[in-house]
Structure 1
């Protein structure tokens, strides 16, 4: 996969960052961050750009400031499979904290911004703050929850129900009526259906007025109708 170099937006001082309350350092106090001896870079990626590659050396954790990222793995047969999606506030690449190589390829689904936090920086802060240790445990739990979500909601039931659940998830569990969707190929890789089936279901939803195309892969959702389909 060809990689476009991320755009560097500058180094971040976490103590004064408005995003911090949503990110990995949410529970830290000002004194924990008073002397930040390590660089934390704010990076932007375009749609389709990889943040890191499966098997690459894990050197940093990525805290998502805005956007959606997919985590992919290759099966023994060489097939691509999306195993999880992550959004703003999530932390990915946590295996780097254990000195492990990255277990997935992380790819931006749309233009996005992240904070790249060196694992050595997190180790240093963790030795000085039990609050960070608790937050890290919460992030590990969140990763397990996301994996469970893909298994229980996005890999079971009819193709129509799976697509409906995915669209609701991408619209913040139905709290928004607008959804930045996936390509049909990504839908198929995530939902364990064929590309043809994904295309057919989306076309059916459009004909029935369950979703309305807004250009690209952006849709206006009839969330009530989608919930009915998702529950069947």
Structure 2
């Protein structure tokens, strides 16, 4: 799953299936997570441990090309999926939030297609591929949830292409800010490094920095804490639609 470059902090490991059942049944994000539709009797099918793993900012859940041995349900935090280009650059192809699932390709026996890196302190549940496969084979509720996950991944990829990869640079930054605000609720959003912003939007780091500085200067963004901003939603919407 990982190599020496990672520094991950393990939460309490779920050492037996019955303990995993109790944790999953009481999970605070269960309604939006991979096990959302399961019933109590379904958890009897779990025969491998499910690990709770916390990842520090900048550490990888897995790397592109690693054997796909597990999927990850994001319990809290923010994860970027990174593709590396032939010229040595990188492109962030999607963001995952609480309730999303990372590494679905592992269920097909494939290597991981991206490198998944925590953009914020992130809590996950690492679910072995065998657990999901067994549940999918034995309960239609798991199969239906997996189909929904695949569909959501396709929709997110389509939205990423149309919202963040088209239009002028200022419109792309505005759309990203609105997207980040959706994940926070209210009128605020949290930003991260300008290099990451550029990798998400297909613009240079300098362009991303210049536009954020302009938004701050004109009052579209007002800093209220470290990397946290109040957003002028109307102004951002106008720019996003331009």
TM-score range normalised by the length of the shorter chain? over 0.9
Checking the alignment, whether the CA contact within 8 Å between 2:187 and 2:230 is kept in structure 1 is: yes
Checking the alignment, whether the CA contact within 8 Å between 1:9 and 1:44 is kept in structure 2 is: no
* Structure 2 CA distance for partners of 1:125 and 1:173, relative to 1, 3 Å: closer
Matched, 1:224 2:220: no
Matched, 1:44 2:54: yes
1:2-17 equivalences under 5 Å are: 2-11=5-14, 12=20, 13-17=23-27
Which TM-score applies when normalising by structure 1? Answer: 0.95
Which TM-score applies when normalising by structure 2? Answer: 0.91
Separation in structure 2 between the aligned mates of residue 98 and residue 112 of structure 1, nearest angstrom: 25
Checking the alignment, whether the CA contact within 8 Å between 1:15 and 1:30 is kept in structure 2 is: yes
**Alpha-carbon deviation of 1:22?**
1.3
Match of 2:68 in 1: 58
Please list every run of 5 or more consecutive structure 1 residues that lacks an aligned counterpart in the other structure: none
Match of 1:106 among 116, 126, 129: 116
Match of 1:204 in 2: 214
Checking the alignment, whether the CA contact within 8 Å between 1:126 and 1:132 is kept in structure 2 is: yes
Secondary structure (helix, strand or coil) at the match of 1:25 reads coil
Checking the alignment, whether the CA contact within 8 Å between 2:45 and 2:135 is kept in structure 1 is: no
**Alpha-carbon deviation of 1:173?**
6.3
Secondary structure (helix, strand or coil) at the match of 1:214 reads strand
**Count of aligned pairs between the two proteins:** 232
1:135-214 equivalences under 5 Å are: 135-172=145-182, 175-214=185-224
Checking the alignment, whether the CA contact within 8 Å between 2:8 and 2:56 is kept in structure 1 is: no
Root mean square deviation, CA, Å: 1.6
**Post-superposition CA distance 1:155-212 (Å, at most 9, x none):** 1111111011101101116842121112100011110111111011000000111111
Checking the alignment, whether the CA contact within 8 Å between 2:165 and 2:172 is kept in structure 1 is: yes
**Post-superposition CA distance 1:89-115 (Å, at most 9, x none):** 100100100111100000000101011
Separation in structure 2 between the aligned mates of residue 171 and residue 56 of structure 1, nearest angstrom: 32
Checking the alignment, whether the CA contact within 8 Å between 1:15 and 1:34 is kept in structure 2 is: no
